[in-house]
């Protein structure tokens, strides 16, 4: 089969979980004889370009670095995507598989893929679950897991609060009828965006319905996402659950998991691996470390990229929170080829995310080699971790609960970590993920 995977970004511009996932999927598809290409928009380009990353062909097409409101909201195609549409028509792929909805990747591109004669699939990696959650996290008011019921009033108010409006004002604007809110689309700047929010939510609902009519399959990563999308669907599009897997040979991973840990544990080593971004819960972990009683035998490592000013600012905020005397180290991200070796050396991986996730992948990698996980009780980890049986779950946005959990593990590693390790879930690999995709592609 001729297959193209479409992302919002790709290497070397971005090193996020979606890009890593797509790289792993395409690697396995190529290994089984399929012709695979990755495509992604590029806001820094003025013309299409092509290059090769790790033996994989990548096609990039230009989009504006400063899109209009209508372009960002998919009301009109973004400038430059006509190159991508023409490329799809010329290449005649059997399958076009979308992984991200951003400016330049949306309903217009799905329709172009359909017009080119391809079967079209979508995998939703973000908490937005397609166009269901404008906030992109599926967290009501940013604090608790949403029930997934989409309404212009409720979802509009939640997004407005996310944008800085006080709750009472956000609730009031959210109550604007979408027909009245629609007129605000013609008001320039922030006032038009805020007053137009109920209309945007209503249009997002229609975009979700239209998108599901246009695709051959919509893939989610968690049971929760499956329930939410199915309850909001009503169209009959196949909603497919295909959980994340990890790179690597299953037999090798199982051998690493079964190998005895010979490390002499003088103190608990807790590791966070990932982006320095507030939605990842990194501030909660830093505050939990700060709250630990003096003398708690814990060493904490934050390992992640600092590739822009935002990540630098967040890293500096974390350093200020933990203070100079804490047993905390900030280091570079772990290279993919070294991640399993690193995870074998730590006692516990912490994933305190504040948003619905299909992973994170690093947590699955940790469990694959026998390192338990302390995580927020939302998303995929809440579905494969049984609290105090094969890991530990705490409420999101709760540094005090996180601190108590770390202190408890540090006080009794044999009764926690060593016990959890014996009850970890079975290893799921990218071979399993790709096998499910190939069956889906074949119909």
For the segment 318-345, what is each residue's pLDDT rounded down to a tens digit? 999 999 888 899 999 998 889 999 999 9
**Which of residues 15 and 189 earns the better pLDDT score?**
189
Q: Quick one: pLDDT at residue 266?
A: 78
Query: What percentage of the chain reaches a pLDDT higher than 90?
Result: 83
Regarding whether 233 and 294 lie in a shared domain, the answer is no
Regarding whether 115 and 16 lie in a shared domain, the answer is yes
Regarding whether 363 and 310 lie in a shared domain, the answer is yes
Regarding whether 114 and 42 lie in a shared domain, the answer is yes
Query: What is the span of the domain harbouring residue 69?
Result: 2-123+215-245+431-442
Q: How many domains does the chain have?
A: 2
Regarding whether 438 and 324 lie in a shared domain, the answer is no
Query: What percentage of the chain reaches a pLDDT higher than 70?
Result: 98
Q: Quick one: pLDDT at residue 242?
A: 96
Q: Quick one: pLDDT at residue 31?
A: 93
Q: In this structure, is residue 61 part of a structural domain?
A: yes
Average pLDDT, the chain: 93
Regarding whether 221 and 350 lie in a shared domain, the answer is no
Q: In this structure, is residue 172 part of a structural domain?
A: no
For the segment 7-25, what is each residue's pLDDT rounded down to a tens digit? 999 988 877 788 889 999 9
Q: Quick one: pLDDT at residue 190?
A: 86
Q: In this structure, is residue 270 part of a structural domain?
A: yes
Residue 263 has pLDDT above 80, yes or no: no
Regarding whether 65 and 29 lie in a shared domain, the answer is yes
Q: In this structure, is residue 55 part of a structural domain?
A: yes
Question: What are the C-alpha distances in Å from 79 to residues 58, 59, 74, 108, 309?
Answer: 20, 17, 11, 12, 27
Q: In this structure, is residue 351 part of a structural domain?
A: yes
Regarding whether 375 and 278 lie in a shared domain, the answer is yes
Q: In this structure, is residue 95 part of a structural domain?
A: yes
Q: Quick one: pLDDT at residue 386?
A: 95
Regarding whether 327 and 374 lie in a shared domain, the answer is yes
For the segment 23-71, what is each residue's pLDDT rounded down to a tens digit? 999 999 999 999 999 999 999 999 999 999 999 999 999 999 999 999 9
Q: In this structure, is residue 150 part of a structural domain?
A: no
Q: Quick one: pLDDT at residue 208?
A: 93
| 234 confidence band (pLDDT: 50, 70, 90) | low
| 394 confidence band (pLDDT: 50, 70, 90) | very high
Q: Quick one: pLDDT at residue 267?
A: 87
> What CATH number did the domain enclosing 224 receive?
3.40.50.2000
Strand-pair partners of 40: 60
For the segment 357-373, what is each residue's pLDDT rounded down to a tens digit? 888 999 999 999 999 99
Q: Please give the order of strands across the beta sheet that includes 217-220.
A: 49-53, 56-62, 35-42, 2-6, 95-98, 119-123, 217-220, 239-241
Q: In this structure, is residue 386 part of a structural domain?
A: yes
Q: CB–CB of 11/52 below 8 Å?
A: no
Q: Quick one: pLDDT at residue 233?
A: 67
pTM for the whole structure: 0.90
Regarding whether 256 and 338 lie in a shared domain, the answer is yes
Residue 240 has pLDDT above 70, yes or no: yes
Regarding whether 378 and 231 lie in a shared domain, the answer is no
Average pLDDT of span 225-242: 86
Regarding whether 327 and 230 lie in a shared domain, the answer is no
Q: Quick one: pLDDT at residue 435?
A: 96
For the segment 111-126, what is each residue's pLDDT rounded down to a tens digit? 999 999 999 999 999 8
Residue 307 has pLDDT above 90, yes or no: no
For the segment 69-83, what is each residue's pLDDT rounded down to a tens digit? 999 999 999 999 999
């Amino acid at each position: 089969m001729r297959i193209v995977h479409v992302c919002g970004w790709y290497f070397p511009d971005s090193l996020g979980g979606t890009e890593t996932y797509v790289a792993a999927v395409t690697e396995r598809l190529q290994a089984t004889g399929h012709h695979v290409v990755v495509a992604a928009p590029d806001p820094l380009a003025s013309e299409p370009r092509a290059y090769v990353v790790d033996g994989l062909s990548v096609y990039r097409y230009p989009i504006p670095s400063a899109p209009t409101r209508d372009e960002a909201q998919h009301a009109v195609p973004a400038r430059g995507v006509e190159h991508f549409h023409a490329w799809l028509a010329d290449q005649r792929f059997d399958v076009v598989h979308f992984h991200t909805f951003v400016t330049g990747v949306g309903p217009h591109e799905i329709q172009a893929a359909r017009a080119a004669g391809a079967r079209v699939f979508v995998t939703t990696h973000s908490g937005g679950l397609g166009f269901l959650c404008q906030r992109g996290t599926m967290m009501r008011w940013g604090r608790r897991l949403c029930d997934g019921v989409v309404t212009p009033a409720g979802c509009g108010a939640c997004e407005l609060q996310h944008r800085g409006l006080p709750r009472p004002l956000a609730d009031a604007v959210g109550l604007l009828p979408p027909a009245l809110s629609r007129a605000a689309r013609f008001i320039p700047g922030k006032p038009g965006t805020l007053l137009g929010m109920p209309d945007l939510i209503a249009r997002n609902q229609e975009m979700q319905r239209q998108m599901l009519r246009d695709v051959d399959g919509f893939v989610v990563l968690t049971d929760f996402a499956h329930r939410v999308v199915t309850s909001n669907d009503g169209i009959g599009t196949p909603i497919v659950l295909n959980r994340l897997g990890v790179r690597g040979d299953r037999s090798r991973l199982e051998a690493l998991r079964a190998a005895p840990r010979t490390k002499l544990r003088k103190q608990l080593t807790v590791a966070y691996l990932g982006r320095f971004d507030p939605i990842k819960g990194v501030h909660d972990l830093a505050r939990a470390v700060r709250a630990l009683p003096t003398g708690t035998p814990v060493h904490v490592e934050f390992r992640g990229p600092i590739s822009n000013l935002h990540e630098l600012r967040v890293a500096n905020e974390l350093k200020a929170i933990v203070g100079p005397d804490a047993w905390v180290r900030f280091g570079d991200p772990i290279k993919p080829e070294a991640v399993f070796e690193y995870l074998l050396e730590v006692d516990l991986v912490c994933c305190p995310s504040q948003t619905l996730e299909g992973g994170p992948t690093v947590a699955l990698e940790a469990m694959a080699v026998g390192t338990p996980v302390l995580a927020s009780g939302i998303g995929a980890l809440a579905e494969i971790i049984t609290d105090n049986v094969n890991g530990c779950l705490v409420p999101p946005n709760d540094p005090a609960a996180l601190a108590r959990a770390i202190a408890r593990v540090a006080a009794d590693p044999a009764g926690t970590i060593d016990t959890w390790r014996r009850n970890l879930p079975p290893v799921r690999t990218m071979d399993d993920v790709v096998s499910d995709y190939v069956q889906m592609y074949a119909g």
